[in-house]
Structure 1
Amino acid sequence: MNQPTPPLDGTPRHTEADETNVRALVEAFYRRVDDDPLLGPVFARELTGRWDEHLAKMTTFWSSLVLGSKQYRGNVQEAHRPLGDIEPQHFARWLALFLNTVEARYEPAAAVLFMEPALRIAQSLQLSKFGWDYRIPEEQVALLAALKRMRTGKEATDPPARGGGEPFPARFVGRGAGED
């Protein structure tokens, strides 16, 4: 991961999240996204004229996840489905910028509250976008496991194998591969 970018105002890292520093995190992160040569053009294309709305929505989203405010109403998968030209490098860059920004602004115990969901959401979006046989990058898997250990003090378990390209939901709807 890149070196963390310290908050622009030089303040020390937060020991816990609150509405004010979540908003500041979102604004700082999306400034970096807007300036990024890979992500900036994608976000500019999708959010021209809607940046303020997006920043407010993302503040609500992260506040809901981290603070438990439960104010976010939306579907993350559906919101990202129209983005047809997104490739694995876009996910890697988004994660690097986000994790780096969080690490610069929060002490580890608070940072994990953002990092773990970000990695889980990215993994879900990657599998949805690239198919269930897509291999999540090993570094991403390892970081998620390390964050889980940090949060719980327990070793992460591997997810069940999806052999032979079996569609993921098959066993959850009552039938496995080869069952009618």
Structure 2
Amino acid sequence: MSKDLAVQSSSPAPASQPSEANIRELVDAFYKRVDDDPLLGPIFSSELSGRWDAHLAKMTTFWSSLVLGTKDYRGNVQEAHRPLGNIEPQHFARWLSLFLDTVQNRYEPAAAVQFMEPALRIAQSLQLSKFGWDYRIPDTQLALLASLKRLRRGEPAGHETEADLPDRSSGAPFPVNVTGVENNGS
């Protein structure tokens, strides 16, 4: 990863609205975590060697296009990920866990949903593309996506409310029933 990437030593106060600036901070913080992650780091490092800065700029444009509606992103998510080999379900689970955690720590709930819902939809699309139409998306991943959609629309279906989302106030990793990976407390 680029040595120029500045990582803040303390977490900023959660943002109430996404902006270009805080999206760039989100992308930088998230990919710093990815680079440091023992499961994902080697994959990203080998794929992005010498290209981290360009990737971070592209991801900032991507998330700005999705969340702010800037429509500046030009690319095909499926094609960009097609050449990646050795990607398994646990890689998707770990990516989602790190991303959802980073978003939740940087945005207030209403703003966080704007990132979480597309992340879950994109992950599902990439999982089906990678593993085939017979691949079963983890039920908890589907349930979280459905909950986020209802929250975004202000439609608490049945008795579900924001309280039905995992309590992450302690900053602990998402539990296994959200990400599909074991949470051994580390």
Q: TM range, normalised to the smaller chain?
A: 0.7 to 0.9
TM-score normalised by L of structure 2 = 0.78
Distance 1:139 1:12 in 2: 29
Asked if residue 70 in structure 1 is aligned to residue 71 in structure 2, the reply is yes
For residue 8 of structure 1, report the CA deviation from its aligned partner. 3.9
For residue 117 of structure 1, report the CA deviation from its aligned partner. 0.1
Give the 3 Å change call, closer, same or farther, for CA 8–112 of structure 1 in structure 2: farther
Other-structure match for 1:99: 100
For residue 12 of structure 1, report the CA deviation from its aligned partner. 1.1
Q: Which has the higher contact order (CA 8 A, sep 6+)?
A: 1
Distance 1:123 1:112 in 2: 16
- How many residue pairs align between the two structures? 150
Asked if residue 29 in structure 1 is aligned to residue 36 in structure 2, the reply is no
Other-structure match for 1:86: 87
Identity %: 74
Other-structure match for 2:5: none
Asked if residue 137 in structure 1 is aligned to residue 138 in structure 2, the reply is yes
Distance 1:142 1:84 in 2: 28
TM-score normalised by L of structure 1 = 0.81
Look up the equivalent residue of 1:57 and give its one-letter code.
Answer: K
Q: Which runs of 4+ in 1 moved over 6 A?
A: none
Other-structure match for 1:57: 58
Q: What residue ranges of structure 2 are gaps of 5+ in the alignment?
A: 1-7, 159-186
Other-structure match for 1:146: 147
Any idea what the Cα deviations from partners look like across 1:5-45, whole Å, max 9, x if unmatched? xx743321000000000000000000000000000000001
For residue 153 of structure 1, report the CA deviation from its aligned partner. 2.5
